[in-house]
Structure 1
Amino acid sequence: MHFQGYTLMIIQSHYKKLQPDPCNDSRCVKGGQALMFYTAIGLFGLGAGAIRGCVPALGADQYDQKNPKEQMQLSRFFNWYSLCTTLGGTIGITIVVWVSMHKGWDKSFIISLSCTLVGLIIIALGKPLFRVRIPGDSPILRILQVLVVSVKNIKEKLPEDSSELYENYDQESISNEEHLLHTDQFRLLDKAAIIPAGYKPAKWRVCTVTQVEEVKIITRMMPIVLSTIFVNTCLAQLQTLTVQQGTLMNNHIGSFKVPTTSIPVIPLIFMSILLPIYEFAFVPAARKLTGLPNGITQLQRVGIGLVLSSISMSIGGIIEVKRKHEILHHGKRLNLFWLSFQYAVFGIADMFTLTGLIDFFYSEAPAGMRSMSTSFAYLSWSMGCFLSTALVNATNSVTSKISDSKIGWLEGRDMNKNHVERFYWFLAILSVLNFINYLYWANWYTYKKDVPIISNEQNSLKARSDHTDETESDKTATPN
């Protein structure tokens, strides 16, 4: 899909007949031209979504979490994965953007397609060396089974002893390595593990405790996903507003002229520099203090990112006040370099949040649901972008009614008369409230519990051993 999307974009950007005539109307693209364009965008989005969801899980599966050394390397992998995606984004926003502006859009899409093909070839060459997990049932199907069976058994009474719930130790679990221990949250779902009288264990009639716990884990993750949407809303606004601000600023840094469309490269540069520092300096120092392999927990890492995003929005408001003051009172354009302050802080925030989320969702997810779970980080990102649009529309709608000019904070044509600084501070306040909400759910979250699979034969041997120990104890016991 990724390949097909790029191919359509190359064809349309190369042939003038497939492009709309120059116009100022945003709706001038219509008919077959619009169909081709949106088909390409749709294919590209679907392909990118599949790649981003699977690649982190595929890479992390190469590490054995039962091996302490490899388990420590797992978190390092996510840092290096983030560094690679950051470097790729840096190349895209600088070199590819330059090519599109000076050589043509078709040339820039050809470069992007070539990079995609090179990546595909590298993955194909490495396939014989990969640790490939045997596929199990569909994660969505397993979730549906628990939900359906729990509804079917809604009238069944839960046993007082959770050990009476059904668990099949002969059945190979989806992870083929572990069973999950029972937890007391979401007891209604436990009804899916009750064997109704007169029935034998069968799919869509009874589920194992492990299967029920998988659904509980996914359910516990949902508040974390929802609590991190707003940081991505801030990111979307930062990338949009700074490009608009950049058109009204001095974009010369020394003798070099920075293209306005390349402004979002600033946080990527900071992330490229800071990720190795985080890995080789921060993690070892934090590990000595906390004793944790990763220095801090994944949820603590995400929390730090949420705090920094609020600080970044506050700085953004201050920079906008200074920009407007310089141009309105002194007639001078503020240098583009000033935007690096808010971008630097947000780059650090993104380093903590995105990488921490991917690590968290992979480490906590049931073994057969890791690809789906790592996609939650990108689900949060996409929902944040949609929320960004809705928030701008809502802000303009409300502020246009209460302002004397009857113009919203962000909808005026003259950005120097708009109130972008107020919007930045509004985002900062919402970010603080979102962080408080996140703290609640992070403290509420219960980490998963797992145990190695024990076969029926092993259970039988253990039972015999326990019985022998009890007999020997009775023989050696002396009366009071």
Structure 2
Amino acid sequence: METTLVGKFVGKHPEIATTYKWAFVRWVIKYNLSIFVLPKGHESLERLALGGLLANEVVYLRTKYNMEIVAIVNLKNIVSGTTNLATLGGAFLADAYIGRFLALLIGAFSNLIGTILWTLTDRIPRVRPPKCSEAQAKLRECISASKAQMFFLVMAMVFMSIGSATIRPAATPFGADQFERGGTKTVEQKKDLQSFFNWYFFSMSLVSVVASTVIVYIQSNVSWTLGFGICAILMLISLVGFLIGAPLFYRETPQGSPYTGIAQVIMASIKKRKLSLPSDLTLLYYGQNSPKVSITSRFRFLDKAAILTEGDMQANGTVARPWNLSPIHRIEDLKILIAILPMFSVKICNSITSQQSTYAVFQALTMNRNMGSSSIKVPAASIHVVSSLVVIFWLPLYDRVLVPLTRRLTKQERGITPLQRMGIGYVFSLISMLVAALVEVKRRNVAKSHGLTDDPSAIAPISVFWLVPQFFIHGLANCFHVVGSLDFFYTEFQPNLRSTAIALSSIMNAVADYLSVFMVTLIHRLTGGNGKPNWLDSNINRGRLDYFYWLLLVMESINALYFMLLAYFYKYRENFVVDGGETSDVSDGQEMVSKKIEI
């Protein structure tokens, strides 16, 4: 079955996308004109800019804005949750009206404004509170930011949130569109597409390493203003690079709002619920100039929305009552959403437990960060670079060695299925959380044994490199889970819903962010008492961050079991096809009819 080409190539050399497709992708990776999950930017330079800025965010808010740990975590979660919710609007615009290219462009401009404002928070002393001395910190008398100062800071976050909300749902599908170009994927294209996801994640991780080391080092040891200024300049360069590369892109034409079509399917299927489906599936309505899709056997009651009844069609072959009749491709869109929604729910708990990486920065601030016997200190925020380094070294090995090997063993195109890859990632996530809890027990005991419990600014005689194992394992988890989930959602969703798929994933992350705010606030208020500090006390030597990690481990374990149950019963879309084959035109206004076949 072939898919109707719905899109256009903008430029003078359309042959680039076929004969020289990997030359194009190398160009894409060089300037990174697409984006992946986890990164917060939209080209490599943009990813480098935002990555360098946000990697050190918690340290900046702690040292320059005198914010408490719980306040920082909650602010990050609220901003992240709002950004994730706004992603649904970005997906709607990209899919229905403006297209993915324009969505990326709008996001780039918004991110540029956000990084400039963020740079000004350090460049202009009046927009942030005065520095807190060690004496004030011990007495907890640091001056907090005023409402006007917080407003300026939040406005920078708002612009960056708008940028992320328009880029996230559009960038990955936009990059993958360059392979499909509106057509059905061949076996070779499927292999290329999986390699694209692997190598794209590789390039993003490589950029993350630079952001978490070079830029973070400049911010922490040279100048915050210089570090942020470099980020703003990189953002500007990335925008210019994206505009220069615009003529090379293939652009999918917006196909209208998928949400309206889904609502029409639900309404039409309810109205025709008492009708019986015809035995001949060619009698159903496939639509005019619509994407050619096969009917699947799941949720067959929805197929009744495509039953032709008197008055549904006009004399010229167009639909007279769109809320009474829906084409097959819209019905299949809704079927996919219903089938995959439980998989999206798994991300809620997984995103909540990812708070481990945020608190690790606060742990690093209390540990010995010297590299050996030298005076060079590792910036606290740079500890995350371990995960990115793992991705850089692991993904090429996986893509070039393990995938061909498993492909021969399993006889599958991908070697292992996306769900299997995601499952392996969840196992590594569990191990990472377990190691994190054990390391925090060790760190806290060392601080206590040296009488540092009541000194929040003290450095315990334990190396920051104790945090490396948990991030090493977390990097392996990302290699499997993040790339696997991207491959899964992109494969299962129809082209016009792919941006929506990423948006729905962001909604689950938003739910997780708001639940994290609730959970952190609840733990902060309910734990402790009777002279004892709460688990998430700003002085983590007095708090019980290890208890918090054990709680996250229990949650992640339950979530992993839930995922395995869903994965066991899940059937891929292609396993439900009940009709397929070649298509043909008919005279009753239906442009496409699939011949019924047995599979």
Shorter-chain TM-score bucket reads 0.7 to 0.9
Contact 1:225 1:376 in 2 (8 A): yes
The code of the aligned residue for 1:410 comes to L
Pick which of 365-374 and 196-205 moved more.
Answer: 196-205
For 1:396-415, what aligned pairs fall within 5 Å after superposition? 396-400=524-528, 407-411=533-537, 413-415=538-540
Q: TM-score, normalised by structure 1?
A: 0.85
Contact 1:361 1:376 in 2 (8 A): no
How much has 1:393 moved relative to structure 2? Answer: 2.7
- SS of residue paired to 1:167: coil
Counterpart in 1 of 2:8? none
Counterpart in 2 of 1:37? 153
Counterpart in 1 of 2:584? 455
Q: 1:30 to 1:158 in 2, by over 3 A?
A: farther
Counterpart in 1 of 2:107? none
Counterpart in 1 of 2:298? 184
Contact 2:306 2:328 in 1 (8 A): yes
Counterpart in 2 of 1:16? 125
Counterpart in 1 of 2:187? 68
Q: 1:124 to 1:418 in 2, by over 3 A?
A: same
How much has 1:385 moved relative to structure 2? Answer: 3.5
Q: 1:221 to 1:184 in 2, by over 3 A?
A: closer
Q: Which structure has the greater CA radius of gyration?
A: 1
Counterpart in 1 of 2:312? 199
Residue 281, structure 1, aligned to residue 398, structure 2: no
2:422 to 278, 302, 317: 302
For 1:355-370, what aligned pairs fall within 5 Å after superposition? 355-370=483-498
How much has 1:98 moved relative to structure 2? Answer: 2.4
Structure 2 residues without counterparts, runs of 5 or longer: 1-109, 133-140, 314-318, 452-459
Aligned-CA RMSD value: 3.0
Q: TM-score, normalised by structure 2?
A: 0.69
In 2, distance between residues paired with 1:247 and 1:437?
A: 35
For 1:39-188, what aligned pairs fall within 5 Å after superposition? 39-64=155-180, 65-151=184-270, 153=271, 156-159=274-277, 161=279, 163=281, 166-168=284-286, 171-173=288-290, 176=291, 178-185=292-299, 187-188=300-301
In 1, distance between residues paired with 2:484 and 2:324?
A: 38
Q: 1:428 to 1:11 in 2, by over 3 A?
A: closer
- SS of residue paired to 2:298: coil
Q: 1:458 to 1:117 in 2, by over 3 A?
A: farther
For 1:434-473, what aligned pairs fall within 5 Å after superposition? 434-449=559-574, 451=580, 454-457=583-586
In 2, distance between residues paired with 1:302 and 1:357?
A: 6
The code of the aligned residue for 2:157 comes to I
The code of the aligned residue for 1:366 comes to Q
Q: 1:298 to 1:376 in 2, by over 3 A?
A: farther
Percent identity, aligned pairs only, is 29
- SS of residue paired to 2:289: coil
Structure 1 residues without counterparts, runs of 5 or longer: 467-480
- SS of residue paired to 1:62: helix
Q: 1:289 to 1:398 in 2, by over 3 A?
A: farther
May I ask how many residue pairs the two structures share in their alignment?
Answer: 453
Contact 2:119 2:228 in 1 (8 A): yes
- SS of residue paired to 2:277: coil
How much has 1:77 moved relative to structure 2? Answer: 0.5
Counterpart in 2 of 1:470? none
Contact 2:179 2:193 in 1 (8 A): yes
How much has 1:111 moved relative to structure 2? Answer: 1.9
The code of the aligned residue for 2:250 comes to R
Q: Which has the higher contact order (CA 8 A, sep 6+)?
A: 2
How much has 1:197 moved relative to structure 2? Answer: 4.2
Contact 2:286 2:329 in 1 (8 A): no
For residues 197-235 of structure 1, give each alpha carbon's deviation from its aligned partner in whole angstroms, at most 9, with x where no partner exists: 443234233111221110111222211111122222222
2:436 to 309, 313, 316: 316
In 1, distance between residues paired with 2:496 and 2:542?
A: 54
For residues 227-282 of structure 1, give each alpha carbon's deviation from its aligned partner in whole angstroms, at most 9, with x where no partner exists: 122222222x2222211211221111222311112222221222222222221222
- SS of residue paired to 2:461: coil
